[in-house]
A and B are shown apart, each in its own frame.
Chain A
Amino acid sequence: MMGTTAAVTVCKGILRKSLLLFSFLVFLIPLSGCEKEQHLNVNPADLHGLWVRNQEYWRFLDNGTGVTWDEAEDVSEQESNLRFEWTLSLDELTCVFRGEMGNQAVPKLYIIREITPTRLRWEDYYGEEYTFSKVVE
């Protein structure tokens, strides 16, 4: 009896785990499905210039460098320490910041979702979106 009960218990456990595993796998199917994303083919020249979000400015220069600063914290463009090199591959924008002491590299990846002459919207790796307006200089 005890053995039967134990066997049933083991079977139930296996079944439960199997069901659980099955359910988990079923749950994972949609999660692991291959979904082809549509990529914009962004022209780097469209990115050149000064963009602002609130008081946060980003300037992209045509030599592949740029600088960003936030005037909300009493920082000017000349004083900014956040200078970067940028590259663009389709819609993937990579900005690599290097500290003044030269011993650090901080890469930031953004996916450009929209770019017009007056509007720029990108999304970071974790899905946060940021929208900028073009500053006419």
Chain B
Amino acid sequence: MKIKKGWKITWITLGSLLGLIVLVVGVALYVVSTPKHLTKIVNSLAGDFINCEAHFENVDLTLLSTFPDVGLEVKNVVLVNKMEGAPYDTLAHIENLTLGVDLKAYLFDDRVIVHQVLVDGVEANLYVNADGKANFDIFPSSEEEDTSAAKLPEVIDLREVSLNRVCLAYVDDLSGMNARVDNLAMALNGKMEDDKIDADLSMGIPRVSLKMNTSGSGERMLVSVKDLSVNMGGEKKGEALNASLLLGSEEINFDMSDSLGQPALKSKLDDLEMALLWKETSGEVDVDIRKGLLNVGGTEMVNNTLQASPRKLLTARLPFAVDQNDMRITLESSELQLDEYKLLLEGMAQLANENTPLTVDMKVQTDGAWQLKPLLAIIPDSYAGFKKGMDVDGRVSLAATAKGTLTDTTMPMVDARVQMEGGRFSYPAALPYTLYNIRGDVAAHVDMSRGGVSGARIHRLSAQTQGSKVSVTGRADNLMGDMKVDAHVIGALPLEDLLPLVPEGMAVDALGDADLDVQACFTMSQLKRQAFDQMKATGSLKLANVDVTLDSIHASVPQFDLSLQLPSTWDNKVADVTLKTQKLRMESGNSINAKLEYADINIGVNNLLKETLQAAWGISLGEAEAKMAETQFSSGGLTCAGEMYLDTTETHPLRRFNPRFHFFTNNAVLSNPDLPDALRMAEFDVNYDENIFDLKSAQLQLSHTDCELYGTVENFREWLADKAMLHGDLNFKSSYTDVDQLMNLFSGVGTDKDSLEAMRREDTVPADANPFIVPKNVDITFNTHIQRSVAFGNDLNDVAGSLTVKDGQAILDQMGFVCKAARMQLTAYYRSPRPNHLFTAIDFHLLDIEIDELINMIPTIDTLVPMLKAFNGNANFHLAGETYLNARYQPKMSTLLGSAAISGKNLVVMDNASISNIAKLIGMKSWKEKDDKIRIDSMDVEMTCFRKEIEVYPFLLNMGSYHFCVSGTHNLDNKCNYHIELLKHPLLFKVGVDIKGSLDNPKISLGSVRYSDFYKPEVKGAAGKKALELKAMIREALEKNVR
């Protein structure tokens, strides 16, 4: 107690002493430095320290308000610095300024230690002009250079620093900045002594605004902060630092536009709270933003859904530790959460130093699985266009690591794994049914370093729909470059599931099952270039119990196997497609009915999706039946192998697909209403090579006509393009040919039906007439060898020669054949310029002719040469003629032109009333020989036909001792005007007989003698010479073509 009492007395004594000292000092200061006196001193000395007009209203010393320090109180300081362009002349106005100075240190240590700085009521107008001159540059520059090093005081003991009601306006014409701080309030205290620092700062600003315009461009920046609060506290002892920073604002707005004046970045953050805690070597950053808006380049990044969420917009809890020696920052159990989606982060980042570059080893993963649907709902609207009409859901989780160094050539490697469970996908616009039970497990490795290799592995990706299941496994390499995909797709698809994929409007129904199994390997560049020749794929599609109905077409297949292989095993082809089915049936009412058995189809394709599609195929069918409309085809066996390429610039199927193939069928039957009977093909074997049909063998039968056809047809492509004629050289062998039937069949080929009908109407062709119109644009020669044939009702045997059909003209070239009557040679020409105007010409030679058979074969001969029926025996007959025909093949007599020559020996004259009358008239019973027959030793007849008139040139008949000369005309009206003259006979006179009138009942009378010297060259006259010249002209012209 004594001790305590002693201490009390001591303290009282010391206090009284101190009070006395203060009182003495105060009185002394008051006496020496009155406010008035001080104010006067300050105002007078101000000009020595500042280069502007200054006014101190009152300067006073105080002890009470700053006790135990002595204080200097200044009231209403006004600084005025006029500057052109400045908004205000007044630089600053400070209502109250108080400085508290350690009196003891000042008095005894001659040091000035400021403990208190109290400022209240400041209005400052800071200005920098365009030249960089500031109105607050008011302190005079030292004339002597200060060479002393900056040195902090050994002790700083700021016990109270406070700023209240501070308003600052700053205008900088040089940088275009305009800033304002309103009612700033700040409290600071701190002490630094030796290596210890202990400080606390608290600041509040109701409003801060900053505006910056870059002169000469549209760049602009606006920042405004509302109710900004900053609280800092910390202590440092040696190297150990413990500190905290709390930053908060009710609202922060940021608006920046680019040089073109377009919005670049705009944001609004509400209720921002940020805390930085630091303790020696570790710390934590916490950020909370309750709400906010962010617009980047005009794109709103926070959509309405995110704005309306009751959760905080962004939360971050980032504990970290720093190893200053290694410049390493380590995140531990960090969290970054946007709305409800939380990412867990941990790892480290080591800053670059002289020896090692920036090194990162970070791990990020979702906090459990994220529900996909609400996640997609917060995607910025401008990026959410893809999900329009799409319904996606599922639970998705992500785990990723980034590990490595960051240099000019290296980037950290990223490994990520995305997993999905219970997914659902519905997108009616593209996929007409919902995929559900989507499961996925995909791992990706991304190496963005130079030369790095990135890849992904699809451990599992599967989905279901109704009865379908599809799953994919595989990998994708080189993700950052030309991605290479190696995938295996397995699926089980009921065909009903494919029906929704059928375009609307197509009436399709399908039943059946399909199993898909495809392994494919390709790069994205290959896919983009459609370079199927560089891709690899094998797969199969097995269809079972397929029953498909398309409109009125119905097809059924018990089993149908399709396999695919890339590259093709065939030369120069990319893909093999093999189709196998044991039985295929297809029908459409009564119009289509097809049945294939044991079908085995191999197809090799090249560039399937390109305009230059190429394909090769091999088709083998055991049996086939097909019916389309009124056309039926059946085959006992069929093979077709070939290849094609697509030319999209062409429209005609054959020029568009350009096939080359070999086709073979046997025991085939083709029936069509255009055919008079079913066409039976015992064998049909043809090669087609772009431009050439090489018909190796066609054994055909149509009605009674049979033939074996072989040869080539060329220029097919040019012919289809109307650039050239179709050329052909075919061999036609037949045991029997109905020429009339074939002519009807091929009439008008090459001219479409409408054109033919138009021609018939224009040419007024009777409906029952069906003239043969020679095909146009073709040049085909048939080398024929026909054992028996019928043509225009005539039987012809051993026909051999060539038939050429050339651009609307038909030419039978020196066709030789044998009929019952003679050896024959025929050259004929036919063209059909109009259906009612058909031109025909013949060059006809009958050698060793039996005259009666000739008349039977060509009854017209009897009309042309009436006396021919009076003879019997063999003769040579030459005939050339031409005429136009009408549509019924009736000659237009006004165009008839012909010539004929007949020569014979040892002919027998038949018993004929006219001959008998002539003989009787001139009493020539002796014509008849012992066998009561009249024989002609020789006969050479030349005749011509011009229109209806037939003219027989004078010819000589030698009958034993009688020589006759015969000439005359008759016309096709049956009128005649003949003259027979007896040149030599046992009697010595000459006599002529005229035969006139009707050929059936001629009037016979004696006539004048005309040809008495006709066959005496030495005496015959001009008329005789002329007649002989004409006869020779006629005969020579006729005989020159005889082979």
Q: Bound complex: CA of A125 vs CA of B881, how far in Å?
A: 22
Contact A79 B833 (CB under 8 A): yes
Pair A105/B1034 contact, Cβ less than 8 Å: yes
Contact with A along B840-877 (1 / 0, CB 8 A): 01010000000000000000000000000000000000
Chain A residue at smallest Cβ distance from B764: A74
Tell me how far the C-beta of A41 lies from the nearest C-beta in chain B, rounded to whole angstroms. 16
Residues in B with CB closer than 8 Å to A105 are 899, 1033-1034, 1037
Selected interface stretch from B578-586, B656-664, B707-715, B1003-1011: B1003-1011
Are B1008 and A74 in touch, CB under 8 angstroms? Answer: no
Which parts of A100-137 form the interface with B (CB within 8 Å)?
Answer: 100-101, 103-109, 124-127
Name A106's closest neighbour in chain B (CB-CB).
B944
| Complex partner residue of A31 from B833, B893, B1009, CB under 8 angstroms | B1009
B987 at the interface (CB under 8 A from A): yes
**B1030 & A107 in contact (Cβ 8 Å cutoff):** yes
CB-contact partner of B881 in A24, A104, A127, under 8 A: A104
Kindly state whether residue A81 has any CB partner on chain B within 8 Å.
yes
Once the chains bind, are B987 and A21 in contact (CB under 8 Å)? yes
Hey, which bits of chain B sit against chain A, CB under 8 A? 827, 829, 833, 836-837, 839, 841, 843, 880-884, 886, 892-895, 897-899, 944-947, 951, 968-969, 977, 987, 989, 991-992, 1006-1009, 1026, 1030, 1033-1034, 1037-1038, 1040-1041
3 smallest beta-carbon distances between A and B, as pairs: A70-B894, A104-B880, A73-B892
| Distance between Cα atoms of A75 and B836 in the complex (Å) | 10
Q: How far is the CB of A115 from chain B (nearest CB, A)?
A: 21
A94–B968 Cα gap in the complex (Å)? 17
What would 15 more interface pairs be, CB under 8 Å, given A97-B897, A100-B882, A124-B969? A21-B989, A24-B989, A24-B991, A25-B989, A70-B895, A74-B836, A82-B895, A99-B882, A101-B880, A103-B1038, A104-B882, A105-B899, A107-B944, A109-B1030, A125-B969
| A6 interface residue (CB < 8 Å to B) | no
Whole-angstrom distance between the alpha carbons of A125 and B992 in the complex? 17
Q: Are the C-beta atoms of A99 and B897 separated by less than 8 Å?
A: yes
Decide yes or no whether A1 CB sits under 8 A from chain B: no
B893 touches A73 (CB 8 A): yes
Minimum CB–CB distance for A137 against chain B, Å? 21
In the bound complex, how far is the Cα of B987 from the Cα of A31, in angstroms? 19
29 A–B contacts from the bound complex (CB under 8 Å) = A24-B989, A25-B989, A28-B989, A31-B1008, A32-B1008, A69-B894, A70-B895, A73-B895, A74-B892, A75-B837, A79-B837, A79-B884, A80-B895, A81-B883, A98-B1037, A99-B841, A99-B897, A100-B829, A103-B1041, A104-B843, A104-B882, A105-B899, A106-B898, A106-B946, A107-B1030, A108-B944, A108-B946, A109-B1026, A125-B951
* A69 surroundings in chain B (CB, below 8 A): 894-895
Known: A25-B989, A104-B899. A97 touches B836 (CB 8 A): no
Specify which chain A residues have a CB less than 8 angstroms from the CB of B892 in the assembled complex: 70, 73-75
A residues in contact with B1007, CB < 8 Å:
31
| Among candidates B841, B987, B1038, residue contacting A100 with C-beta atoms closer than 8 Å | B841
**A107 CA to B827 CA, complexed, in Å:** 22
Return chain A residues, CB-CB under 8 Å to B968.
Answer: 126
- Could you say which residues of chain B place their CB within 8 Å of the CB of A24? 989, 991, 1006
CB distance from B110 to the nearest CB of A (A): 141
Q: Which residues of A contact B882 (CB under 8 A)?
A: 81, 99-101, 104
CB-defined interface of A16-52 with B at 8 Å, one 1/0 digit per residue? 0000010011011001100000000000000000000
Please give the distance in Å from A17's CB to the nearest CB on chain B: 8
User: With an 8 A cutoff between CB atoms, is A72 at the interface?
Assistant: yes
* Candidate in A82, A105, A124 with the most chain B CB atoms within 10 angstroms: A105
Residues of A within 8 A of B1006 (CB): 24, 27-28, 31
Is A62 interfacial (CB-CB < 8 Å)?
no
Contact A28 B899, beta carbon cutoff 8 Å: no
Measured between alpha carbons, how far is A72 from B948 in the docked complex, in Å? 14
Instruction: Tell whether, in the assembled complex, residue B895 and residue A81 are in contact, meaning their CB atoms are under 8 Å apart.
Output: yes
Q: How far, in Å, is B97 (CB) from chain A's closest CB?
A: 127
Contact of B946 among A27, A32, A72, A97 (CB under 8 A): A97
Give A75 to B839 CA distance when docked, in angstroms.
Answer: 11
Contacts A99-B882, A100-B829, A107-B1033; A75 near B843 (Cβ below 8 A): no
Residue of B nearest to A69 (CB): B894
Highest count of chain B CB atoms <10 Å: which of A69, A73, A106? A106
Minimum Cβ distance to chain A for residue B942 (Å): 10
- Bound-state CA distance A108–B827 (Å) is 25
**Distance from B949 Cβ to chain A, minimum over Cβ atoms (Å):** 8
Which residues of chain B come closer than 8 Å to A103, judged between CB atoms?
827, 843, 880, 1037-1038, 1040-1041
Contact yes or no, A106 B897, CB < 8 A:
yes
- The reply to whether A104 and B829 contact each other, CB–CB distance below 8 Å, is no
What separation, in Å, do the CA atoms of A110 and B562 have in the docked complex?
85
The answer to whether A73 and B894 touch across the interface, beta carbons within 8 angstroms, is yes
Known: A27-B1006, A99-B841, A99-B881. A104 touches B897 (CB 8 A): yes
User: Which residues of A sit under 8 angstroms from B893, Cβ to Cβ?
Assistant: 73
Known: A28-B989, A31-B1007. A106 touches B945 (CB 8 A): yes
Question: Using Cβ atoms and an 8 Å threshold, which residues of chain A touch B843?
Answer: 101, 103-104
Chain B residues near A31 (CB, 8 Å)?
992, 1006-1009
* Complex alpha-carbon distance, A70 and B884, angstroms: 12
A75 and B894 contact, Cβ closer than 8 Å, known pairs A101-B827, A104-B880 = yes
A82 to B1033, CA, bound (A): 18
CB distance from A54 to the nearest CB of B (A): 10
Contact indicator A81/B897 (Cβ below 8 Å)? yes
| Contact B880 A99, beta carbon cutoff 8 Å | yes
Chain A hits for B829, CB < 8 A = 100-101
The winner among A25, A56, A103 for most chain B CB atoms within 10 A is A103
